[in-house]
Structure 1
Amino acid sequence: MKKFLLQFFTWWNGATLNTRFHTWRHGAEVGTDEFGNVYYQGGTDSEGRTRRWVMYNGLADASRIPAAWHGWMHHRTDIAPNDENYQPRAWQKPHKPNLTGSSAAYRPKGSILTGTERPRVTGDYDAWTPKS
């Protein structure tokens, strides 16, 4: 019952009821990624292309979609990554989660969160002043 209420009142806790209904009615499962996200297709969008969507395993976070599935979702390729003909490009890197907001997030020198002092200006910068 708790899971149902979470899905009914919050869109970020798994799939919404509308998405589940649409999937049941129109969706054909295409594959699953290493995070347990399940990908579907079915029907057509406003441009006449096959509609594609994902049902996340856990919280809905678009940064949890690996590069290969991202390309398929956005119609960059018609070959799903779980297809035997799929070959990742040499430049594609393994998936990394979005670290924004975590303790592992990037913090440049001088950030108030690093405790270091900001580098001094070296003289190659002239502040703008009106009518100059």
Structure 2
Amino acid sequence: MSLGTSIYTWLCGHLVGEDVDNNKYYCNSKNYSDLNAKRWVIFKGEIEATKIPPHWHAWLHKSIDKPPLNY
């Protein structure tokens, strides 16, 4: 993770959830349905996009409004 990402996450990021691989998902707005909100993931270990579960992938790409909190 870059220094810029670390600082932005610390200042603006709201932890939304975590998946089974301990990847952490963030949003810069507390209103998760905000279309202008930025969403990102901080990977645990190796950065590999194929490790993102489908339900979290859909949330990151704004296909669904609410984060999958049950996973």
Identity %: 38
- Distance in 1 between the 2:18 and 2:2 partners? 19
1:6 aligned partner: none
1:50 aligned counterpart, secondary structure: coil
- Distance in 2 between the 1:68 and 1:16 partners? 26
1:58 aligned partner: 45
- Distance in 1 between the 2:27 and 2:21 partners? 19
Question: What does 1:23-62 align with in structure 2 at a 5 Å threshold?
Answer: 23-42=9-28, 49-62=36-49
Aligned length: 66
- Give the aligned residue type for 1:66: P
Whose Rg is larger?
1
Unaligned runs of 5+ in 1: 1-14, 87-132
1:75 Cα deviation after fit: 0.3
- Distance in 2 between the 1:16 and 1:60 partners? 12
1:21 Cα deviation after fit: 0.5
Root mean square deviation of aligned Cα:
1.6
Query: Which has a greater percent of helix?
Result: 2
Identify which of structures 1 and 2 has the higher relative contact order when contacts are C-alpha pairs closer than 8 Å and 6+ apart: 2
When normalised by structure 1's length, the TM-score is: 0.47
1:80 aligned counterpart, secondary structure: coil
2:61 aligned partner: 74
- Distance in 2 between the 1:74 and 1:49 partners? 12
Unaligned runs of 5+ in 2: 30-34
